[in-house]
A and B are shown apart, each in its own frame.
Chain A
Amino acid sequence: MFADYSIFAMLALAILGALVCLALPRPRHVLRLIVLVSAIELGLAANVWVGVLGNGFVTAADGWFYIDAFSAFYLIVLVLVFLLSSAFAGVYFAHETGEHGFTLTVAHRFGALWLGSLTAMMLVLVSNNLGIMWVGMEATTLLSAFLISLHPSRLSLEAMWKYLIICSVGIAFAFIGTIFAAASVQTAGGIPADALFWTRLASADVQLDPLLMKFAFIFILVGYGTKTGLAPIHSWLPDAHSQAPTPVSAMFSGFLLNTALYCIMRFVPPARHALGAEFTNELLIFFGTLSILVAAGFIVFQRDAKRLLAYHSVEHLGIITLGFGLGPLGTFAALFHTLNHSVCKSLAFFAVGRLGQEFGSHEMHALSGALRADRLWGIALLGSVLALIGVAPFSVFMSEYQLLRAAAGAGKWLVLVLFLAASSVVFLSALRHLIDMAYGDPKLPMADGAADACPGAQDGKAGILIVVSAIGLLVLLGLWMPVWFSGALVSAAAVLGARV
């Protein structure tokens, strides 16, 4: 009902929320407001999703906004991750003291940039015009840069500068790709004014110039791929993820990367239309597999828990990209994996972030004995990392299993072997780190007086609710997938031209 108005409401609410954040008198009011805004956004996004599932698509503003099953699914995942991360921000910043204290100035900056980033990401997902989509994507970089250096220090400024320069250049490449895509319509048949509209570009009756479309897709893949964190252009990612405050890392890893991948996938139907499915599939498979392999190599040698999780993001975005290149079943698995990875990775960052606050370090050897020190976040760490490396019955196992079936079905045996080998390496090295962190002997005295607190109890109901709902979702989807949900994934895959 009123799904088209919901789109306007979502954007307006986030912008309004960002402005109101600047005027609130107390830091904790900002933290409450972002949770409230995210919760309402979830309701609105669900309304849009229902509209899309009933109707096939929702459009508004003369076709400038257009949401189909694919973008509606991404929208739901985005808002879900945002709600979880916003709720966690309340728990996390309550424990920030000293020079990293969450003062009113910091709170204003955080609240405005946080909801600003949400607006930009939603703009990417709802816009039908590929130019506006690009504008939204560049805006996410600019708005989120200062979230990394919320507390300016040498390391966070370094990470922020690398992020800013590398991603700005990457996204500028994507703009060249967007221009090529628009030009490919023109030359083949007159000069349409709506050349940048995705619905126009993807429709079957448009003639696209194959050479220009090929250039377009390569520039898009490299450009947005930089922001997705695909190897070998992922170098900004571990720095930014490790230096940002944890709620920001969770949002980056849980959704910002997916937004960039979403942009790449928007160009896949026109590219397949002009060049055949083989060309895009091969490229997606190549970059996906390469990312998995490179990430596996780096995961073995990590010592910092947040950097470890960052490389896991490179790996999992690689898995999702690989899935998109493996035909209908692969696309289905990739979409399912997107949700699983987002929820699971956010939870992993939450756990490492809180434990890091208690232990005063993110080094893995320092986090030893987490399960004894803090029951709640220790369990969260154990559960989320086990899920992350693909242990049954978590849903990540299911999506990776489907992906393996897709690879076997497509006859990509080399990819299958490489994927399995890299996954085994990741599995073993992550498990080794995890056992030390969860069950080892505590090596460092705890910081911030947490030692005398009752383990896990200090974060109250909010902490428990976050952990239980995230782990609950991962287990539930691992054991049972509702029919309507798999139907939603099938229709999202169909948008990309993959009929399951």
Chain B
Amino acid sequence: MLDTIHAIGLVSCFALLGTSRIGACIRWLSLQGIVFGLVPLLAHDDGIGLRVMLLAGGNIALKGIIFPWVLLRLRSRTLYPREVEPFVGFVASILFGIIALGLSVWLALELKPALPHAPFLMLETAIFVISIGLFMIISRRSALMQVIGYLMFENGIFVFGVITVVETPLLVELGVLLDAFVAVFVMGIAIFHINREFGSMDVDQLNALRG
């Protein structure tokens, strides 16, 4: 099962790197959120308690359903071409993805001895998703795509946290989820204002302040 999640994680990342329609990107992100939400149920074989159930359920609901819904609504509310408009082209993005995958495997191999509890495949997936999320934030012109990148980044950190730290108190998990929840809304409202003021969500136009 972890193999399947690993595969879907990788495929969704490459799909996000190569897709030109924002709507399709949001759907891939949703799939990624749902699949990664299952990781807490699978990563540890010492029984599934209420805490793990809540954690998985909360993540699937937020990252698989609510966030994509918010983003899709935002996309349909704003007057903007529905293309991703990258600073870095799609082919170059996919090439970056391949290099990042290699580096993730290497870094996971380095970290593995220090983290004996963590399943290797998930460790590698987490590092890969984190790096691709970061790349999306930097390389895409649309503010909406930056939010998608940020959420991928969060997805990666979530997987990393779940597999490395077993006993995080529920309160902390809930706090982190709440922050992600508020973050998406704050960013959504910000995009809405930016779109109204600038007539687009192109972050390349946000260039008046420098020096």
Q: A and B: partners?
A: yes
| Chain A residues at the B interface, C-beta cutoff of 8 Å | 129, 131-132, 134-135, 138-139, 142, 145-146, 149, 152-155, 157-162, 164-165, 168-169, 172, 175-176, 179-180, 182-183, 186-187, 191-193, 195-196, 209, 211-212, 215, 238-239, 242-243, 298, 301-302, 307
Which of B114, B137, B160, B198 is the one whose CB lies under 8 Å from A209? B114
**A26 CB to nearest chain B CB (Å):** 26
> In the complex where A159-B209, A169-B134, A209-B114 touch, is A132 in contact with B186 (Cβ < 8 A)?
no
B165 touches A182 (CB 8 A): yes
B179 touches A138 (CB 8 A): yes
**A272 CB to nearest chain B CB (Å):** 19
Contacts of B157 in A (CB 8 A): 172, 175-176, 179
A179 touches B164 (CB 8 A): yes
Give Cα A301–Cα B111 distance, bound, in whole angstroms.
45
A139 touches B186 (CB 8 A): no
A and B contact pairs by CB, cutoff 8 A, 23 listed = A129-B171, A129-B172, A132-B172, A135-B175, A135-B178, A138-B183, A146-B186, A157-B198, A160-B190, A164-B186, A165-B150, A169-B137, A172-B153, A175-B176, A179-B157, A179-B161, A182-B164, A186-B164, A192-B167, A193-B169, A196-B169, A211-B114, A212-B115
> In the complex where A145-B190, A298-B211 touch, is A154 in contact with B197 (Cβ < 8 A)?
yes
Contacts of B190 in A (CB 8 A): 145, 149, 157, 160-161, 164
A187 touches B115 (CB 8 A): yes
Contact with A along B120-133 (1 / 0, CB 8 A): 00000000001000
Most buried by B among A165, A215, A298: A165
B197 touches A157 (CB 8 A): yes
**B74 CB to nearest chain A CB (Å):** 14
Question: Told that A129-B169, A135-B172 touch, could you supply 20 new A-B pairs with CB distance under 8 A?
Answer: A138-B183, A142-B183, A149-B193, A154-B208, A155-B208, A155-B209, A157-B194, A164-B186, A164-B187, A168-B150, A172-B153, A175-B161, A176-B157, A179-B164, A187-B114, A187-B115, A211-B114, A212-B114, A212-B115, A239-B209
Contacts of B165 in A (CB 8 A): 179, 182-183, 186, 195-196
A301 touches B211 (CB 8 A): yes
Give Cα A225–Cα B166 distance, bound, in whole angstroms.
27
Closest to A193 in B: B167
**B66 CB to nearest chain A CB (Å):** 17
Contacts of A168 in B (CB 8 A): 150, 183
Give Cα A195–Cα B161 distance, bound, in whole angstroms.
13
Give Cα A311–Cα B143 distance, bound, in whole angstroms.
27
B179 touches A135 (CB 8 A): yes
A182 touches B168 (CB 8 A): yes
A191 touches B130 (CB 8 A): no
Contacts of B208 in A (CB 8 A): 154-155, 158
**A490 CB to nearest chain B CB (Å):** 33
Give Cα A192–Cα B137 distance, bound, in whole angstroms.
36
Contact with A along B182-207 (1 / 0, CB 8 A): 11001101100110011000010011
Closest to A136 in B: B175
Contacts of B207 in A (CB 8 A): 158
Contact with A along B133-154 (1 / 0, CB 8 A): 0100100000100100010011
A196 touches B209 (CB 8 A): no
A139 touches B137 (CB 8 A): no
Cβ of B116 within 8 Å of any chain A Cβ, yes or no, is yes
> In the complex where A169-B150, A242-B209 touch, is A187 in contact with B194 (Cβ < 8 A)?
no
A131 touches B176 (CB 8 A): yes
**B59 CB to nearest chain A CB (Å):** 15
Give Cα A168–Cα B157 distance, bound, in whole angstroms.
13
> In the complex where A132-B172, A165-B137, A243-B209 touch, is A176 in contact with B116 (Cβ < 8 A)?
no
Contacts of B167 in A (CB 8 A): 191-193, 195
Q: How large is the interface on B (under 10, 10 to 19, 20 to 34, 35 or more residues)?
A: 35 or more
A152 touches B193 (CB 8 A): yes
Contacts of B117 in A (CB 8 A): 186-187
Give Cα A164–Cα B190 distance, bound, in whole angstroms.
9
Give Cα A139–Cα B181 distance, bound, in whole angstroms.
11
Contacts of A154 in B (CB 8 A): 197-198, 208
Give Cα A164–Cα B189 distance, bound, in whole angstroms.
12
**B185 CB to nearest chain A CB (Å):** 9
**A112 CB to nearest chain B CB (Å):** 14
Contacts of B134 in A (CB 8 A): 169
Contacts of A187 in B (CB 8 A): 114-117
Give Cα A146–Cα B194 distance, bound, in whole angstroms.
12
Contacts of A142 in B (CB 8 A): 179, 182-183, 186
Which of A172, A186, A215 is the one whose CB lies under 8 Å from B166? A186
Contacts of A209 in B (CB 8 A): 114
B168 touches A196 (CB 8 A): yes
Contacts of B172 in A (CB 8 A): 129, 131-132, 135, 196
Give Cα A135–Cα B19 distance, bound, in whole angstroms.
33
**B62 CB to nearest chain A CB (Å):** 15
**B116 CB to nearest chain A CB (Å):** 6
Most buried by A among B116, B182, B211: B211
Give Cα A158–Cα B186 distance, bound, in whole angstroms.
14
> In the complex where A149-B193, A164-B186 touch, is A183 in contact with B164 (Cβ < 8 A)?
yes
Contacts of A158 in B (CB 8 A): 206-209
Contacts of B182 in A (CB 8 A): 139, 142
Give Cα A302–Cα B203 distance, bound, in whole angstroms.
25
Give Cα A242–Cα B209 distance, bound, in whole angstroms.
9
Give Cα A161–Cα B169 distance, bound, in whole angstroms.
32
**A201 CB to nearest chain B CB (Å):** 13
Contacts of A161 in B (CB 8 A): 143, 190, 194, 203, 206
Give Cα A494–Cα B130 distance, bound, in whole angstroms.
37
Which residues of chain B (51-104) have a CB below 8 Å from chain A? none
**B79 CB to nearest chain A CB (Å):** 16
Give Cα A158–Cα B193 distance, bound, in whole angstroms.
10
**A183 CB to nearest chain B CB (Å):** 4
**B35 CB to nearest chain A CB (Å):** 20
Contacts of B150 in A (CB 8 A): 165, 168-169, 172
Closest A-B pairs by Cβ, 5 of them: A131-B172, A135-B175, A158-B206, A239-B209, A183-B164
**A300 CB to nearest chain B CB (Å):** 11
Which of B160, B171, B189, B197 is the one whose CB lies under 8 Å from A176? B160
